[in-house]
Amino acid sequence: MIPTFTLPLGFLSLLAIPGLVAIYLLRTRSRRYPVSSLMLWVNQQQAREGGLRVERLQTPLLFFLELLAIILLALAIAAPIIRTTQGAIPLMVVLDDSFSMLAGVDETPRVRAIAALEEQLAPQGFNLFANRRYAVRYVLAGTEPQVLNEPARTADEAIDQLEAWRCLSPSADLGAAISFAAELGGQKTLMLVLTDEPPPQILGEDRMQWWAFGIPHSNMAFVNATRTVTDSGERCLLEITNLSPYVGSTELIVEVDDAGSESSSALLHQSVLEIDPRATRRIFLNLPPKTPPFRARIGEDSLGIDNTVRLLPQYRKPVLVDVRIQEPRLRSLIENALASTDRALSAKTGPQLLFLDETTVADDAAEAWSMRVITEPAASAYLGPFVIDFTHPLTEGLSLDGVVWGAGTREQFMGTPIITAGNVPLLTDTERFTGVHEIRLRLRPDLSTLQNSPNWPILMWNLLEWRASQTPGLERTNLRLGEVAVLTTKLGTTSVEVVSPDGGMLVQPIPDRTINFKAEAVGIYEIRASLDKYAFSSNALYQAESDLTDKATGRWGDWGDATLRWWGYQSFAWFFLLLAIGILTLHLFFVKRET
């Protein structure tokens, strides 16, 4: 393999060779002098350090060593390189996966970015990519960086892989994606960022280029949408923001989602909104009970993904409760607290939560949770300090300052302590292998003020919320794009089918009755668990991403011609330097030997 010299001017150092030859040509001639004795010249040597007279060139071994050292040093100065690989140049392309890349009427930034990349990868005329092969690999810049594919070896393969670039993330962390791509590709990898915004800092000639394809637009967008249950029906909140420096107007239409738009009964609300620059308009709607899923939409503009929201009914999952406590006062305290939560339904058969006294046995409800209230004769009134495990679901919002808690005095008590007074457990939790929880509450109402404080209904609310979260069903039915839907299934369910808004189906295994599924598209998802079906909606409600006023078009950074020209080559100067050092070491050895 023939090396290439990147610094040919380094061969000018060979001009030292005539100087070396001159040293050996100009030598000192000896003269004859008669002396009385040769005793002082036993080790007589002829001086060879040079002189002013020209004599016949003498070429001892030291001359050739010095000549060879000069040649080797000249070769090292000329910076020789050799080709170490014939493979493709690695190119990491960071793709902005946020939904602002879908903005535009005729062409979106995503479409323009794909066209620009395809033009650069195509070997047409004088092009940085001409006559070179690139191993293109994509990294999606969403809320978290994600590798899109294996390296593409051809331009057609690289363009085809961009079909998976959907631009449906609620945000794009470009900094994290660039760091991830640099770590994944290595030090010699070229970087290309495709986005719709300018770089945060000026880029010079380096391994990175930043291409932006954004265009500033005015935009009206939904930034918040909620649907809650009230005593008289439902209440809906819609927030619409004018992301523009000008006053804008749009028409708001709210209609039943599964009915035809031609039907007058499908229309729930219609109005024309005029919104000031950078202002938000809030619309409150009172809906009748059992209102079906509905859709709210505004007028079309440059970004369509945030012009429509779909909201499903948010059902409160009631908890079937059976209070089996015999003591009248304690029973009344529990029933009143449960009634204040509006989450409990009395059920004598098939209860999900039981309230028991110390001796009651509940063999008829093996899958029901239970709170066993224990009133011990030997008791004390504890004023605190109370130790509370705030990581437990039962303790959210509790504050026991100033509360008097009457309970037994035994320090050994069954279950994991949740609330203690010193070393005395007051509230404990025991989880069975089937997932059933048994809570033990030690309470003497005659010695306590707990039942008279807000902590008592809070404790009952937390218990009902915790139990409801473990019953089959979705935790929430209306999500933002990118949020996680949490579904609890029935016992024995091993897998579910998830149908996405575009009709695609995914079978998801369930190891422990709970499935977490990320909403990666806008629309209605359906989850099928055996004979049960659940649905949730996903909406693009992100003001920062809907704001298109700061988008830009341009190209920053430069890979540099040298980076592209000499990729795959490695410096070979070290080899000649090592040889020169070896020759000079041998030269020094012979000099010492002569002297």
114-132 pLDDT per residue, tens: 999 998 887 644 343 345 6
The pLDDT tens digits for 221-253 are 999 999 988 877 889 999 999 999 999 999 999
Q: pLDDT value at position 301?
A: 92
Average pLDDT over residues 94-118: 93
Provide, for the chain, the percentages of residues in helix, strand and coil under a 3-state DSSP scheme, each rounded to the nearest 5.
25, 35, 40
The CATH number of the structural domain formed by 222-315 is 2.60.40.10
- Do the beta carbons of residue 176 and residue 142 sit within 8 Å? no
- Buried-state track 102-126, b at ≥16 Cβ within 10 A, e below 16: bbbeeebbbebbbeebeebbeeeee
Q: pLDDT value at position 259?
A: 45
The pLDDT tens digits for 142-198 are 999 999 888 887 888 899 999 999 999 999 999 999 999 989 988 778 899 999 999
pLDDT at 43 over 70: no
Average pLDDT over residues 69-88: 78
- Do the beta carbons of residue 136 and residue 121 sit within 8 Å? yes
Q: Which among 188, 41, 94, 228 is positioned nearest to 564, based on CA atoms?
A: 188
Q: pLDDT value at position 125?
A: 43
Q: pLDDT value at position 129?
A: 38
**Identical topology for domains 222-315 and 473-539:** yes
Give residue 58's pLDDT band: very low, low, confident or very high (50, 70, 90): low
- Do the beta carbons of residue 230 and residue 313 sit within 8 Å? no
What mean pLDDT, rounded, does the chain reach? 85
Let me know if domain 319-468 sits in CATH 3.40.350.10. no
C-alpha to C-alpha distance for 235 and 314, rounded to whole angstroms: 10
The pLDDT tens digits for 19-31 are 888 877 775 445 6
Tell the burial category of 519 from Cβ atoms under 10 Å away from its Cβ (0-12, 13-18, 19+). Answer: buried
Q: pLDDT value at position 151?
A: 83
Q: pLDDT value at position 54?
A: 52
In three-state secondary structure terms, 531 is coil
Give residue 272's pLDDT band: very low, low, confident or very high (50, 70, 90): very high
Average pLDDT over residues 445-452: 93
Q: pLDDT value at position 534?
A: 92
Q: Homologous superfamily of 89-216+550-567 in CATH?
A: von Willebrand factor, type A domain (3.40.50.410)
Q: pLDDT value at position 320?
A: 92
Q: What are the sequence ranges of the domains in the chain? A: 4-33+43-84+572-594, 89-216+550-567, 222-315, 319-468, 473-539
Q: pLDDT value at position 130?
A: 46
Q: Which among 258, 165, 239, 301 is positioned nearest to 480, based on CA atoms?
A: 239
Alpha-carbon torsion angle 547, 550, 553, 554, nearest 10? -140
Q: To the nearest whole percent, how much of the chain has pLDDT over 90?
A: 51
C-alpha to C-alpha distance for 590 and 62, rounded to whole angstroms: 7
Q: Which among 176, 178, 129, 177 is positioned nearest to 155, based on CA atoms?
A: 129
Average pLDDT over residues 458-486: 92
DSSP assignment of 308-349 equals EEEE-------EEEEEE---HHHHHHHHHHHHHHT-EEE-SS
Q: pLDDT value at position 365?
A: 67
Pairing of strands 437-442, 424-431: antiparallel
- Among 75-89, 166-180, 203-217, 315-329, top mean pLDDT goes to 166-180
Selected from 3.40.50.1820, 2.60.40.1930, 2.40.30.10, 3.40.30.10, the CATH number assigned to the domain covering 473-539 reads 2.60.40.1930
Q: pLDDT value at position 263?
A: 41
Q: Which among 427, 493, 494, 439 is positioned nearest to 467, based on CA atoms?
A: 439
Q: pLDDT value at position 390?
A: 93
Neighbours of 448 (CB within 10 A): 19
Q: pLDDT value at position 591?
A: 78
Handedness of CA 142, 147, 151, 152 (dihedral sign): negative
Q: pLDDT value at position 94?
A: 96
Neighbours of 256 (CB within 10 A): 17
Q: pLDDT value at position 260?
A: 43
Q: To the nearest whole percent, how much of the chain has pLDDT over 70?
A: 88
What are the C-alpha distances in Å from 99 to residues 53, 218, 525, 546? Answer: 87, 15, 19, 8
The pLDDT tens digits for 500-533 are 999 999 998 888 888 899 999 999 999 998 888 9
